[in-house]
Amino acid sequence: RSERQVEGISRGDWYPSNFDKPHDLSILFNYQPNRRNTLTINFIYGTGRPTTPPVGNTKLENGLVVPIYSQRNQLRIPDYHRLDLGATFVIKDNNKFYSDLNFSIYNIYNRKNAYSIDFGLDDQGNTQATQLSLFGIVPSLTWNFEF
């Protein structure tokens, strides 16, 4: 846990800091069926970061809409999790040269993890949340060699 207390914010009460991440889990599994091949499974899970959403808005006399916010960092963006798979195959291994080929897939089940959430107004003046997600499935192919 990571909390802050700042005079003038949230009535001086303690609130979750931007770095508060109570759950953080990484599981890595490597399987080497023989000397030349390796299969890898990587699972990552983490609690979503705290954020401060608007809970409503008010309209000023000049027509400007001003958001009204909840207490600091009282909401969390959705939890982050993904599963990565990889396979490495040794192509050449002798005293003068080593080479392997690695194929991996990042985020195999294509979860649209929230990088951030922005809050704005829709056409009727209601608060609307928009989630920014950066990556879906990302395949990669790597050829490593040493000589």
**pTM confidence score:** 0.79
Residue from 62, 65, 66, 81 nearest 24 by CA: 81
Q: What's the token pair of residue 120?
A: 């704005």
DSSP H/E element including 40: strand 37-46
Report the C-alpha gap between 139 and 98 in whole angstroms: 24
Condensed to tens digits (0 to 9), the pLDDT of residues 45-60 reads 999 889 888 888 888 8
**Token pair of 86, please?**
């990889």
Mean pLDDT of 119-123: 82
